[in-house]
Structure 1
Amino acid sequence: MHPTPLNTPKIPKALSLPFLPHTPQPSSQIPYFAIMHLTLTNTIRGLFTFGSAKKPESTDHSYEYIRGPIEERGPCPGLNALANQGYLPRDGKNLTLAKVDSALKTALHFSSPLAASLSNSLKPLLRKDGTFDLVDMRRHNVLEHDRSITRLDYGAPSNPSHDNFSFQPTMFTSFLADAGPGEEPVTIKSLAKTYARRKKESKKEGGKLGLGLWFVNVLQTVSLLNTAGKGGRLERGLLRTFYEEERFEVRILEDETERSLLGLVGKGVVLLWHVVF
């Protein structure tokens, strides 16, 4: 007799939204996953490498905030903001991994491993010429995924139009309410509360996350805290600017403190500790 082989689950390597006419449909088996863009393999690799030592400059030195139309934007407010402020092409088109890597280092002072891990996780979106558009990030379960803090789940019954890229004010209000009344800041503890709430809400509407996208979701939940937090806190004014306007405040751009991959992963671990305990 031959032993029956175990059916080990395939870990997806990629994120998503409604598709524009030129956007390819996702396959039934997604080959990649990422966190606003970080893949598990890229994250682990990044922890033991140093990425590119050079910190390239953006090709557009006019960083005035000019919000682009939603037709040219994806579900990630961070990359949308970088385009709105000129660190990425303002029309959100023909982006390359090198342009994303450069923008993350120049605007947000990401370390080389963190910038490389995030930009490399976007490879599933690339066309044959090595470019992608921000709207390509709408593709469900390629990079975009369920349980977003401020976006609807793609397949939720309450979302018949499959709009997984538009900012939802009511969801943002619930996010702030998790931190308490008044103007109390968002912290890792309140983020754990938000994470648990969105998990419950998503499951109720049939949302699903595989192991790979679960990892993405955890890191995505703490990504802004790693980028813009001060003393483990995110002020509400800063959050309103980021989510409602899709803009990074000057104080974030001028803070040259390096944001590290180890710091992001560490915050993810602390988040899970608060969720469990």
Structure 2
Amino acid sequence: MRSIILTATFLAQVLALPTTSETSSDAPPPWVAPGPNDLRSPCPLLNSLANHNIIPHDGRNITISILETAFTKYINVGNDVAIGVGGPALLLSPMANSMSFDLTDIDKHNAIEHDGSLSRDDFYFGNDHSFNPVIFAHVQSYFLQDPIEIPIAAKARLARMNTSNTTNPDFSLDTAAMGATFVESAFYLSVFGDPVTGVAPRNWVNVFFEEERLPVAEGWTRRDTETNLTTLMAMAAKIVAATPATSLSVGFNLADASHA
């Protein structure tokens, strides 16, 4: 989700792309594990949508229009976020001026993927694209309260940042990537909880990360209130405010990150 922290220039370019609007909602298609020839990414959200065949199950030829429909129809996330995710992904396609991307295209260090992921290891250690149960277990160890609320998410995020910073000799987060780490936490609290209060059932969050599945079987449904850039930035600001002051957070300003 780092990609939703965009420069003003790039956002203007992406907004010039043709878009569609989809307001109706359906239950997600059944979850099907990826096969040996299916592509997946470092992003648990895009992987989950592919596993449900909400975006192509093979992980190929994903367009902005496909993302917009997927986000709006199935998880009630606004087109601005779909553009913020899909626009940078298009730029990572190996095909010049491509209007689609494959999930593996975004597996490029410090492009969308970044150090300190809540569910992936750092690039320095090798596999930065697959779910890492040890990494996520460390994050989960802070989910002592159910439901998860903003202060808990803030502590879990910071603990992961600190561990990455102290164990990875090449640890690196620029301003935009640092901002993305707050927005990513805001995202799971919003889509699997509430985009205003930031309260999410722990089991739904665990299923999303561990299985890359929408937790429909556990009772989750598409939220009534839309998650969009405005709500995400507002919640990210609350997570920043709830984060204890350390070298990884002192003086951090989301407004600076949004223009990095």
TM-score by length of 1: 0.74
1:152 equivalent to 2:118? Answer no
Query: Closer, same or farther in 2 for the Cα pair 1:125/1:97, shift >3 Å?
Result: farther
1:268 paired residue among 211, 224, 236: 236
Aligned residues, how many? 232
Aligned match of 2:77: 110
- Extract unaligned runs of 5+ from structure 2: 246-260
CA gap of 1:211–1:62, structure 2 versus 1, over 3 A, is: closer
Which protein has the larger Cα radius of gyration, Structure 1 or Structure 2? 1
Partner of 2:256: none
SS at match of 1:122: helix
Structure 1 residue identity aligned to 2:232: L
Distance 1:37 1:103 in 2: 17
Matched, 1:197 2:165: no
Contact 1:186-1:233 at 8 Å conserved across structures: yes
1:227 and 2:200 matched: no
- The CA deviation at 1:268 is 0.8
Q: How far apart, CA to CA, are the structure 1 residues paired with 2:105 and 2:88?
A: 14
| Structure 1: unaligned runs, 5 residues or longer | 1-34
Per-residue deviation, 1:254: 3.5
| Cα shift readout 1:138-180 (whole Å, capped 9, x = no counterpart) | 111111000101110101xxx2xx1001111122222121122
After the TM superposition, list the runs of 4 or more consecutive aligned residues in structure 1 that deviate by more than 4 angstroms: 42-46
> Within 5 Å, which residues of 2 pair with 1:1-277?
35-41=1-7, 52=19, 54-55=21-22, 63-69=29-35, 72-126=39-93, 127-128=95-96, 129-155=98-124, 159=125, 162-180=126-144, 184-204=146-166, 205-206=168-169, 207-230=171-194, 231-250=197-216, 251-276=219-244
**2:23–2:73 CA contact under 8 A, matched in 1:** yes
Query: Are 2:55 and 2:70, in contact at CA under 8 Å, matched by a contact in 1?
Result: yes
Taking only the aligned residue pairs, the percentage that are identical comes to: 25
Within 2, Cα distance between the matches of 1:147 and 1:131? Answer: 27
Q: How far does the alpha carbon of each residue in 1:225-268 deviate from its partner, in whole angstroms, 9 at most, with x for none?
A: 12111453222221222112111123544433211221100111
The RMSD of aligned alpha carbons is: 2.9
Write the distance in 2 (CA, Å) between the matches of 1:43 and 1:252: 37
Whichever residue aligns with residue 54 of structure 2, its letter is Y
Structure 1: distance between partners of 2:223 and 2:121: 32
Structure 1 residue 53, shift from structure 2 partner: 6.7
* Counterpart code for 1:228: F
If the length of structure 2 is used for normalisation, what is the TM-score? 0.79
Larger RCO of the pair (alpha carbons < 8 Å, separation 6+)? 1
Q: Indicate if the aligned counterparts of 1:88 and 1:103 stay in contact, CA closer than 8 A.
A: yes
